Structure 1
Amino acid sequence: MKIQKGDYGYIKHQKKIEILKTSVMFALVLIIFIAGYVTTKTRLNLFTLVAVLGCLPASKELVSLIMILPRKGLGPGLYEKISPKVKKSSVAYEMVMTSYEKTMPLDCMAILGNTMIGYAGSEKADVSLLEKHLRDICNGNKYKVSIKIFKDLDAFLDRLAQLEDKGEPSELQDAVLNTMKAVSL
């Protein structure tokens, strides 16, 4: 089963993928350069040009690696506390939302009906900025959704239980979740 954005374990999986892709791309650049140097005995050849141009996509992969490396995934204890409570909600784990001002981790996001709640357990999480950013995304896509992000796990779990008891699924929730996945790292 392929781990996708929003699945538990995505960040750990993505780190491995980005390390592998970056290493392979820079290795190819180096192999092309060395092949040109060995065959022509000078670095002034077409192989060098191809190697230099190959640095562009390799550098793009390096930027992706640099963005994902400092991120931490959701601990197994947290996942075990949250996942059994989800029945009707659309849920995504280990999201990393990026705005112009800041990169913000969001450990869990649950959407049921027109209500979105999230848990951002990091001490560095700026909940008000994260709520504003998510609201801007929803407004830009014309989604009428109420948004509340929690730093306290117990408060998040209590609100999730309330949503699951009283809320009803809607077609909107999957569209909103897919949009949030699309704009996260």
Structure 2
Amino acid sequence: MKLMQTNKGEFGYLKRERKRRIIIAAILLGVPLFIFISMWIYLGTRNTIWTIIALVGSLPGCKAVVDVIMVMLAKPVNPAVYKKIHAHQGDLVMAYEMYMTFYEKKCAIDAIAVCGNTVVGYTSDPKADTGFMAEEAQKLVRKNGYKVDVKILSELRPFLERLDSMNAHKDSLEEGLKFTPDPRYPDFTRDDMVKHVILNLCI
């Protein structure tokens, strides 16, 4: 099965990631299970060193199952919503389909836009604590050296209006900001680096 190469932060990422993680979990669990069953049949008993090897070998598979569960909790962006957001994206640096996790709370973020010190996100999750998620994301981005103000909205129309405003004032929002390129990502702009930090908070 060939999976579409969709990177984290792109529309369609969660669908691809679900398939990828399921395949990995199946392989990592299938190999030790095959060893256990085949040696049980061959030797006629489970009480062998092969059972221990199979048991230890299943640990990576168990971790992979947890990864599958985590990505299944994340909600892909509704295609109709994506089309609406993309129509207002303009020249902004955007990311889509994120599942932001902190120790206390988790939240699906449909999209974020980055422009200078302004980061605005949108979530369709009715249970999302937008204030908490924005505050924690802002803290971590600032700890990485980028002074930004993060806001997460729970209504689509205000988010689209904010995208239009950010596009209209893009030059002024980015004016005067100092930025030293990261040698690990020489082609990244400041907005790209802020996006990169935020994506590292997500599965």
Q: TM bucket by the smaller chain?
A: over 0.9
Q: Which amino acid aligns with 1:183?
A: L
Correspondence for 2:128:
125
Correspondence for 1:19:
22
Q: Residue 50 of structure 1 is aligned with which of 50, 53, 57?
A: 53
| TM-superposed deviation, 1:20 | 1.7
| TM-superposed deviation, 1:54 | 1.2
Cα shift readout 1:56-100 (whole Å, capped 9, x = no counterpart): 100110110111112220011011101122222111101111011
Contact 1:131 1:149 in 2 (8 A): yes
TM-score by length of structure 2 reads 0.86
Correspondence for 1:115:
118
Correspondence for 1:175:
193
Contact 1:35 1:47 in 2 (8 A): no
Separation (CA, whole Å) in 2 of partners of 1:79 and 1:100? 28
The alignment status of 1:80 with 2:83, answered yes or no, reads yes
TM-score by length of structure 1 reads 0.94
| Structure 2 counterpart SS, 1:69 | helix
Separation (CA, whole Å) in 2 of partners of 1:45 and 1:4? 44
Separation (CA, whole Å) in 1 of partners of 2:194 and 2:73? 27
| TM-superposed deviation, 1:117 | 0.5
Root-mean-square deviation over aligned CA pairs: 1.4
Sequence identity of aligned pairs in percent? 32
Cα shift readout 1:135-180 (whole Å, capped 9, x = no counterpart): 1111211211111111110000001100011113673211110111
| Structure 2 counterpart SS, 1:116 | strand
Separation (CA, whole Å) in 1 of partners of 2:148 and 2:82? 25
The alignment status of 1:93 with 2:96, answered yes or no, reads yes
| TM-superposed deviation, 1:104 | 1.0
Which segments of structure 1 move beyond 3 Å, counting only runs of 4 or more? Answer: none
Separation (CA, whole Å) in 1 of partners of 2:90 and 2:131? 27
The alignment status of 1:105 with 2:108, answered yes or no, reads yes
Separation (CA, whole Å) in 1 of partners of 2:50 and 2:139? 47
Contact 2:107 2:125 in 1 (8 A): no
* Greater Cα shift, 92-101 or 42-51: 42-51
Correspondence for 1:36:
39
Correspondence for 1:134:
137
